[in-house]
Copies of this chain bind each other. A is one copy, B any other.
Amino acid sequence: MTVRFAILGAGRIGQVHAKAVTATPGATLVAIADPMTEAAQSVAQKYGCDIRTIDEIAASSDVDAVLICTPTNTHADLIEQFAKVGKAMFCEKPVDLSLKRVQDCLATVAAEDATLMVGFNRRFDPDFMAVKAAIDAGRVGDVEMITITSRDPGAPPVEYIKVSGGIFRDMTIHDFDMARWLLGEEVETVMAQASVLTDPKIGEAGDFDSVNVMLRTASGKQAIITNSRRATYGYDQRIEVLGSGGMVSAKNMAEANIELANGDGFGTPPLLNFFMTRYVAAYENEIAAFVASVADGAPTPTTGQDGLMALALADAAVLSVKEGRAVKLSEITG
């Protein structure tokens, strides 16, 4: 079976997925939708697909699945619209910045028995997959303590930060998902602390740029997350898992695997410093996994529930910073 795709949104991430869809065996790109005519035309021309409106796509019998790559504030509405017409859906995280809205939306998905995958690209990174595989193969014994280091090369524009939902919902959310995935057990309590250290404008916008989070599960497993909006040496993305039998970690990816030595010592290049170069394989694998799920009628590897739980952890972190205390996840999810 070939899965026939339409992509909603021809922006940066829509283009990444357009390339992935056309390169994935068993998938074909039928249509692109975007109110920006030029962006839509560029994708249509490059990959030989139609331009259609979102409503036309919802009504198209030659489309099996949609990739929702529109702005965040449209996600939940689109998911509900396409759930009702029986299209399989892949939606970029987050479903919505409001937990309540996400819960409602997922209720609709469930009621329609629709297929929804929420994009957490890092789970599909080859190195992080190898870490997970090592855990699943029992190579570190029981997971006990996880350290996630996640630092952006630089902060996004303040205009973006203002509508982002804040660092915990915009940036740490990826790390919350990784923590859940690797802990293998739901988080019970969250403690967080936050500062503004890299740019006072971020503070003026009501956000933080430097945060640490501690998570604890009912059985006592723990994870720590350390985030900064600034890492001069590139996009810092590391994971370390300590278990009863050992430790497994994923290392950073440099621009090139060379080393230069001189009187100053030994040097290697900075890290890849853009998420689209750092995670190029992850984006391809993610779409391939969605295609495989749709083709097989199998559950998607990441779900709406994953999106909801990561957002709930972000909400708990926000509350922990505000009240200076450990927040139970159940306080958030109700």
Contact = CB atoms under 8 A, between A and B. Distances in A.
Given A127-B256, A196-B220, A226-B147, A261 B246 contact: yes
Contacts of A259: 248-249, 251
A258 B191 contact: no
B214 A195 contact: no
B242 A249 contact: no
Interface residues of A, number: 66
Nearest to A323: B325
A260 B269 CA distance: 12
B242 A262 contact: no
A142 B198 CA distance: 10
Interface string A252-283: 11111111111111111110000000000000
B245 A262 contact: yes
B212 A134 contact: no
Contacts of A260: 134, 139-140, 246-248
A319 interface: no
Given A140-B262, A147-B226, A195-B221, 14 more contacts: A127-B258, A147-B149, A191-B193, A196-B220, A198-B244, A212-B214, A228-B242, A230-B244, A231-B242, A232-B246, A232-B262, A236-B247, A248-B261, A254-B265
List the 10 shortest-distance A-B pairs measured between CB atoms, nearest first.
A195-B220, A246-B262, A233-B261, A324-B326, A130-B256, A325-B325, A247-B261, A267-B267, A251-B257, A265-B269
Interface of A: 126-127, 130-131, 134, 139-140, 142, 144-145, 147, 149, 151, 189, 191, 193, 195-198, 210, 212, 214, 216, 220-222, 224, 226, 228, 230-233, 236, 242, 244-270, 324-326
